């Protein structure tokens, strides 16, 4: 998203923002259709860090005019943007827009009739940047799916928002996407950040709070809130913990834990099914203004818990505990996303009794997943498994939350200390503060 709601300040934030992408291990960033076109400094840093850029043209979420006059303006904009950015090696993909194919399909119209993305922009790219990949929309509805009753179950790229329910519900576990272009989960900013943009008398409670709504993408023209993202955030807390805390500090902690576990799961599950789903662009890294959102870093560059969890599971070589499916064992998988073999020593133990459950050595082939072990699971389990592995003398950590909700927040708070102490450690006492 834009680095700052006041775009004149974007340049001040580029270096730190791209530093976050690099530290997280992101290998692709999507500059979304509701964004601005970043300047050379942004792309220069992505070039240096080896981070690919999926660049949307700046059209999103509505029907645009199809008149010759408007299309002439689109052409001039596209020519200027393409000529400016085309020499950056980090620029991997042009995308015509964000979700406008979906707007057409939902209205019973043919997305192929959108002259912006099927005529004007492709013509500009053919002349100005003919060798770079182009997709007309995100998600793209190909001609073969126009008019299909279940079009969104078959588009190759999907935005997995759905019911916004439990993050391991059927919608998230049984999707058919070959590439995930958007997926996210809300997380409350740190309390210290909230205190900077919410007045003292409106810090709490979260419900029926006009100031919270203003900072949650609430549209001023809506008399009734059509998508109450604050309520959504509270509902997601209740999904995991069975109740919504009654203090700001507890609410922020529970919300950040919920977001962190959800996004960790989205990334891990995508890695485990790489035979079908080739990648994931989760939403999103950092906010462009102070708000309650899916971002894992707030406007003030304060990191939420999800930042630490994602940083661990985006390592090129990662040990992941998967889901049991219909069986009684949890698979232990070594995921090697590099192009070289990796010799891995791994160990998994229970957070309560500290007893090692499985341990071993494995030579992971390049660009492959291999199940190296399994953990017996029971329907009654509510356990935390701690995971550690070593590659080329460097140690890494991860964890797996076993069982089904509701979990007790106090129990998770105690577990958080053990999670934080794993390699790539962080300060558990500062989480959500």
pLDDT in tens, 285-310: 999 999 999 999 999 999 999 999 99
Say whether pLDDT at 224 is over 70. Answer: no
The span from the CA of 333 to the CA of 298, in Å, is 32
| Average pLDDT rounded to a whole number, residues 367-379 | 96
Helix axes 409-420, 248-272, angle to 10 degrees: 60
The span from the CA of 100 to the CA of 65, in Å, is 12
Q: Name the pLDDT band for 326 (thresholds 50, 70, 90).
A: confident
Please give the pLDDT value at position 366: 97
Please give the pLDDT value at position 55: 98
Report which DSSP code applies to 38.
P
Q: Name the pLDDT band for 411 (thresholds 50, 70, 90).
A: very high
Proportion of the chain above pLDDT 90, given as a percent: 92
Say whether pLDDT at 325 is over 90. Answer: no
| Average pLDDT rounded to a whole number, residues 80-88 | 98
Nearest to 366 by CA among 387, 390, 339, 393: 339
What does the mean pLDDT of the chain come to?
95
Report which DSSP code applies to 118.
I
Q: Is the peptide bond before 231 cis (omega within 30 degrees of 0)?
A: no
**61-70 own/partner pairs: CB under 8 Å, 24+ apart:** 61/33, 61/34, 61/98, 61/99, 61/100, 61/103, 62/100, 62/103, 63/100, 63/103, 63/104, 64/100, 64/114, 64/116, 66/113, 66/114, 66/115, 66/116
Q: Name the pLDDT band for 212 (thresholds 50, 70, 90).
A: very high
211 in Cβ contact with 199 (< 8 Å): yes
| Tokens, residue 129 | 């940047």
| Average pLDDT rounded to a whole number, residues 227-235 | 90
| Average pLDDT rounded to a whole number, residues 203-228 | 78
Task: For residue 348, list its beta bridge partners.
Answer: 358, 387
Greater model confidence, 228 or 212? 212
Say whether pLDDT at 236 is over 60. Answer: yes
pTM over 0.85: yes
Please give the pLDDT value at position 217: 72
Say whether pLDDT at 396 is over 90. Answer: yes
Greater model confidence, 326 or 271? 271
| Average pLDDT rounded to a whole number, residues 406-416 | 97
| Average pLDDT rounded to a whole number, residues 172-185 | 96
pLDDT tens digits, residue range 50-59?
999 999 999 9
Nearest to 96 by CA among 68, 77, 69: 77
Q: Is the peptide bond before 388 cis (omega within 30 degrees of 0)?
A: no
Please give the pLDDT value at position 274: 92
Please give the pLDDT value at position 220: 57
| Tokens, residue 6 | 């006041």
């Amino acid at each position: 998203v834009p680095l700052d709601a006041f775009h004149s300040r974007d340049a001040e934030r580029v270096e730190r923002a791209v530093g976050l992408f690099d530290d997280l291990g992101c290998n692709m960033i999507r500059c979304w259709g509701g964004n601005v076109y970043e300047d050379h400094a942004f792309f220069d840093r992505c070039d240096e860090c080896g981070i690919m850029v999926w660049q949307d043209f700046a059209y999103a979420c509505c029907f645009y005019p199809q008149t010759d006059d408007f299309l002439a303006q689109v052409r001039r904009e596209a020519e200027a943007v393409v000529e400016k950015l085309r020499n950056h090696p980090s620029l991997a993909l042009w995308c015509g827009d964000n979700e406008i194919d979906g707007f057409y399909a939902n209205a019973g119209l043919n997305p192929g009739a959108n002259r912006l993305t099927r005529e004007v922009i492709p013509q500009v790219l053919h002349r100005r940047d003919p060798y770079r990949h182009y997709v007309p929309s995100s998600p793209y509805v190909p001609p073969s799916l126009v008019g299909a009753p279940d079009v969104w179950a078959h588009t190759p790229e999907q935005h997995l928002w759905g019911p916004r329910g439990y993050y391991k519900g059927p919608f998230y576990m049984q999707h058919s996407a070959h590439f995930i272009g958007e997926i996210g989960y809300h997380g409350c900013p740190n309390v210290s950040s909230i205190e900077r943009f919410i007045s003292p008398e409106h810090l709490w409670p979260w419900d029926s709070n006009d100031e919270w709504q203003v900072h949650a993408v609430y549209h001023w023209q809506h008399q009734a809130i059509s998508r109450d993202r604050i309520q959504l955030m509270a509902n997601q807390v209740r999904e995991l913990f069975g109740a919504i805390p009654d203090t700001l500090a507890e609410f922020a902690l529970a919300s950040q834990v919920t977001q962190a576990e959800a996004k960790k799961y989205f990334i891990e599950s995508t890695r485990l099914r790489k035979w079908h789903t080739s990648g994931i662009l989760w939403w999103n890294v950092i906010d462009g203004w102070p708000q309650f959102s899916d971002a894992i870093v707030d406007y003030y560059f304060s990191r939420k818990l999800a930042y630490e969890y994602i940083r661990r599971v985006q390592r090129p070589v990662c040990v992941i505990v998967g889901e049991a499916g219909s069986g009684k064992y949890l698979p232990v998988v070594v995921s090697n996303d590099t192009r070289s073999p990796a010799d891995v020593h791994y160990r998994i133990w229970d957070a309560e009794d500290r007893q090692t459950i499985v341990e071993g050595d494995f030579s992971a082939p390049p660009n492959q997943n291999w199940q190296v072990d399994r953990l017996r699971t029971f329907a009654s389990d509510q356990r935390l498994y701690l995971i550690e592995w070593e590659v080329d003398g460097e140690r890494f950590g991860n964890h797996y939350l076993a069982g089904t909700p509701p979990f007790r927040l106090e129990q998770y708070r105690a577990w958080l200390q053990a999670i934080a102490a794993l390699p790539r450690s962080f300060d558990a006492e500062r989480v959500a503060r």
